[in-house]
Amino acid sequence: MRGASLRGCIDALLGGDIVALPTETVYGLACLALEEQAVDKVFQLKKRPSDNPLIVHVLDLDQAQMVAVLNPIAKLLCNEFWPGPLTLILPKRDELPGNVTAGLETVAVRSPSHALFRTVLKEVGQPLAAPSANPHSKLSPTNAKEVLEFFGSELPILDGGKCTFGVESTVLDLTSEKPSILRPGPIAKDTLEEFLGIEILSGLPRTKKGEPQKSPGLSLKHYAPETSVRLYSCFDEILGLEDLTSDDLIIAPHDGMIPLIQSSSPAKVLSFSKTDEPEEIARNLYATLRAADFFEKKLIHVALLRDTNGIIAAINDRLRRASTLS
Ligand code: TXA
Ligand code: MG
């Protein structure tokens, strides 16, 4: 795909426009975080509800301090895991427009490692707000062509190839009593616990009646293909299904399982990977769900991966959100 030029993207951003940029996780729809009107344009283009805050992307600690207040734990984490797929929820600074954080007093900040995104951050010289480059509730794009299919050629897209991780960053809240993972991602809970030497909670904290939701966007079911997805707790359950027809589609963890399933089932079979390695499954996750849509079957059958460690927690989280039936 012939994407936009680096210079063209930088100029568009500085002029208050939106561009799609590659990150190591998924593609993002970027704009100047400190420009309220530019941020509004992102919400409009994405059709994102205004109560769902954006992540602010920064080059380094200095840019992070332009939008957030960093405590000692935050600084330790940034020094260890940035640049990379770790987003920290921190108290926001007043300079950051309220629409970025959907009115919350906290802001999500991360420093992406993709070389092209970093060049843009350096040249623009200020933080960029960037949600994933998908219309609200659709699967996040992991290559430039998918962004083009969503938004058309009017949007400048910087083509940085296929994303390394394929699932969105780990979101870690540092503004509650104990750190907690609001969204599992490529940086695992165990890794963070080992590094900090303290327990980290998982999931959204319970909110009392009348209190604002901790992370509005994360309570929603999304990251879903158009076709309904039925989720099973292990793949053996899918292998045991006897009433499948050619209207069904099964996604197996790896290619090696396809002949076995095809020999006993009329269902269409795709797979998430060649190697069965979680990293490859994550990288192909959204593209495979999108490919499954292409066959226009009645139902997609997928199973949670065994285990919960490493990136598997993120894969299983996204499969749960993609599924409408279980
Ligand atoms: O890997 C990623 O994080 C990608 C790339 C583009 O960087 N970005 C991404 O952004 O996934 P988005 O907007 O699709 O997801 C951000 C999530 C949302 O679910 C949002 O609700 C949550 O982070 N979030 C943002 N600000 C928050 C805040 N102040 N408090 C709690 N959750 C927040
Ligand atoms: Mg998103």
What is the per-residue pLDDT across 29-41, written as a single tens digit (0 to 9) for each? 999 999 999 999 9
Point out the ligand nearest to the CA of residue 223. 2
Q: How many angstroms separate the alpha carbon of residue 81 from the centre of ligand 2?
A: 21
**Domain 6-202 coded CATH 3.90.870.10:** yes
Q: What is the pLDDT of residue 212?
A: 57
Q: What is the pLDDT of residues 62-89, one digit of tens each?
A: 999 999 999 999 999 999 999 999 999 9
Q: Is the CB of 204 under 6 A from ligand 1?
A: no
Q: How many angstroms separate the alpha carbon of residue 24 from the centre of ligand 2?
A: 14
Closest CA to 322 of 294, 280, 293: 293
Q: What is the pLDDT of residue 217?
A: 60
Q: What is the pLDDT of residues 143-190, one digit of tens each?
A: 999 999 999 999 999 999 999 999 999 999 999 999 999 999 999 999
Which pTM value belongs to this model? 0.95
Residue spans of the domains in the chain: they are 6-202, 229-322
Q: Is the CB of 108 under 6 A from ligand 1?
A: yes
Point out the ligand nearest to the CA of residue 52. 1
Lowest mean pLDDT among 43-47, 214-218, 281-285: 214-218
Q: Is pLDDT above 70 for 208? A: no
Q: Is the CB of 104 under 6 A from ligand 1?
A: yes
Q: Is the CB of 25 under 6 A from ligand 1?
A: yes
Q: Is the CB of 56 under 6 A from ligand 1?
A: no
Q: What is the pLDDT of residue 220?
A: 53
**Arithmetic mean of pLDDT over the chain:** 94
Q: pLDDT class for 307, splitting at 50, 70, 90? A: confident
Kindly state the percentage of the chain with pLDDT values over 70: 94
User: Is the separation of the CB atoms in 285 and 318 below 8 Å?
Assistant: yes
Instruction: Assess whether the region 6-202 and the region 229-322 belong to the same CATH fold.
Output: no
Q: Is the CB of 224 under 6 A from ligand 1?
A: no
Q: What is the pLDDT of residues 263-272, one digit of tens each?
A: 999 999 999 9
Instruction: List the strands of the sheet with 19-21, edge to edge.
Output: 19-21, 28-32, 128-129, 55-57, 106-110, 86-91, 170-173, 180-183, 201-202
Q: What is the pLDDT of residues 7-32, one digit of tens each?
A: 999 999 999 999 999 999 999 999 99
Report the relative pairing of strands 28-32 and 128-129 from DSSP bridges.
antiparallel
Closest-lying ligand 1 atom to the alpha carbon of residue 216: 21
Q: How many angstroms separate the alpha carbon of residue 95 from the centre of ligand 2?
A: 24
Q: Which CATH architecture has domain 229-322?
A: 3-Layer(aba) Sandwich (3.40)
Q: pLDDT class for 310, splitting at 50, 70, 90? A: confident
Point out the ligand nearest to the CA of residue 138. 2
Kindly state the percentage of the chain with pLDDT values over 90: 89
The token pair at 325 is: 């039936």
Closest-lying ligand 1 atom to the alpha carbon of residue 185: 1
